[in-house]
Amino acid sequence: MLVKKLLGKEVLDSHGDKIGKMADLDIDIVSGKVKYAVINAGIGTKYKIQLDDIVTVGDAIILRLSGSDLKQSKKK
């Protein structure tokens, strides 16, 4: 899938609640692998999501994490 098709897609948590939108991908230039996806969840709130935490990509991106899981991971 092309990156431009991912950027701006709505991101939902495991309960179907809206988290935000796909904002960016961090790519390791040497290996060519995606390190993580960046979710923009509002003013000043961004989450770094591992690709393993994405369940499916369709009209929206669905995560295997809940909103509370994301908030807990941001505090670390």
Quick count: other Cβ atoms within 10 Å of Cβ 4? Answer: 7
Here the tokens at position 40 are 């923009």
In tens, the pLDDT along 61-76 reads 999 999 888 887 764 4
Domain ranges in the chain are: 3-75
pTM over 0.75: yes
In tens, the pLDDT along 3-49 reads 889 999 999 999 999 999 999 999 999 999 999 999 999 888 899 99
| CATH for 3-75, options being 3.30.1600.10, 2.30.30.240, 3.30.70.1530, 3.30.1960.10 | 2.30.30.240
